[in-house]
Chains A and B, each alone.
Chain A
Amino acid sequence: MKEEIISARKNLEETLRKITGFSIFVPEAKFFSMVCGCVGFASDLRGLLLASVEVSNDNIKNLLEDIANSLSIKPDIIYARKLPGSEEIVGLTARELCSRCKKEFSGDKPRPDIFVIKKVEER
């Protein structure tokens, strides 16, 4: 798992740089497990703006899906976390949701601080 998470962080940073043309910085990447049952991959970001995520939505979605799969995560939702009221993206998350969070995270804008890159599939 150590090698996979090291490689996931590098892959995310390098690919975001290629996609956006900026030297996007990924200071930290985490494989997480939550008390509710959700598991996932989360990364802190510097230098990424919402506009770049909107333009490269599909590329970023594919990238995060690949990274999540490499960590045996099947992401139900992929989202960018914004600093509220700002265009700065401070995190990207690919998350396999528990049944409660699947309901809570459904829809296009489940929370005001997140930009949904991959939506939870409606049942």
Chain B
Amino acid sequence: MSIPHPGHKYALERIISEARSNKNLNNIHEFYLAGPSDIVGSGRVTLYSPLITDLKEMADLAHEYKIEIDVVINPSCFGGTHLTPHGYNTILWYLNQLNNIGIDSITVAEPYIIELLNDFSMKTVVSCISMVNSPQRARFFENMGADVITLDPDINRDFKMLNAIKKSVSCDLRLMVNEGCLYKCPFRYSHFNLFSHVTTAGMKPPIFGDYYFDKCISIRVRDPEQIIKSPWIRPEDIKKYEEITPFFKITGRANTVSWIVNCMNIYCSGNYDGNLLEILDCPSELRDLYFIDNKKLEGCIDYWRDCDKLCIDCNYCKMVTNSALKVIDNERRDNKCKEES
């Protein structure tokens, strides 16, 4: 399991400590985090910008527990700077620094950086932002030098495609389990591009708001079936994917440490009795609006794995929505607050 890390040392210490007490350390293969934002941005919201020296301390700590550290350098857009002499030299210098301090792998979306990484001993992990969703695309990235490919979550419920990709490449594959983005999201490219710029020092545009996030949440408020259609993988269903890969990634490095710990514990245990929205990354804001009974989703994967995704002819997800999803009214919310306090 690959575990998100918000970037400050306290988080890593807490996550390791919780994993130790819950005997989950053996399930953890790596921690991933963003590096210094004044060098390169990333494809997601980033809460903390560690220094290279901080990264070294954290790599050393993770290695004590035989866990790897991955640094994400996955903006979908560099604004062309990577192809300038200054940008090239900066990225090369940065990769050298990361290599020297013992970083194990780099997650990257830009093909040019993948090629640059071929000169380093660090593993190259292709980001989900590269949208690898076919054997053709997977082979392109493997031929460029990928050691691991994080597959586009849009194919998480397409086992025919997952199997075809598996047969086409020899590198490792990784599946994201809880991203929770809209299936076939129309904002995906634009949103990653926005993050790429707002997470890079010196490139930040003075935006008036995150249109894509507001719109994405609003769509699901008006049409909650879209939450069910999102290609998340329930903790109980991970075993169904073991024919494809043993590597899974929990997303959510912009969440609180407690949220990450909770997700890690649940996914490592492979069992969850509660609101699915508590463990999904992107629409976590909606956990106070909807309750999706995870236990009522038992068996859905057996339908979805062979589903042709021609929704016009099918009402399965609507039926699942009606049976598993409830709007949380204020009375129920008050009761939940009382129970938790």
Contacts and interface: CB of A to CB of B under 8 A. Distances in A.
A46 B286 CA distance: 10
A23 B221 contact: yes
Interface residues on A, range: 10 to 19
A22 B329 CA distance: 13
B330 A47 contact: no
Contacts of B215: 83, 86, 88
Contacts of B330: 10, 13-14
Contacts of B214: 46, 83, 86, 88, 90
**Most central of A46, A49, A85, A113 by chain B CB within 10 Å:** A46
Given A88-B214, A88-B215, A24 B285 contact: no
Interface string B193-235: 0000000000000001101001101100110100000000000
Interface in B297-341: 327, 329-330
A51 to B, nearest CB: 12
Given A25-B289, A27-B285, A86 B211 contact: yes
A83 B285 contact: no
A25 B209 contact: no
A25 to B, nearest CB: 5
A22 B222 contact: yes
B288 to A, nearest CB: 7
Nearest to A45: B218
Contact of B221 (A47, A84, A86, A113): A47
Nearest to B290: A23
Contacts of B285: 27, 46
Given A47-B222, A84-B208, A85-B211, 11 more contacts: A14-B329, A14-B330, A22-B221, A23-B224, A23-B327, A27-B288, A46-B217, A46-B218, A49-B222, A88-B214, A90-B209
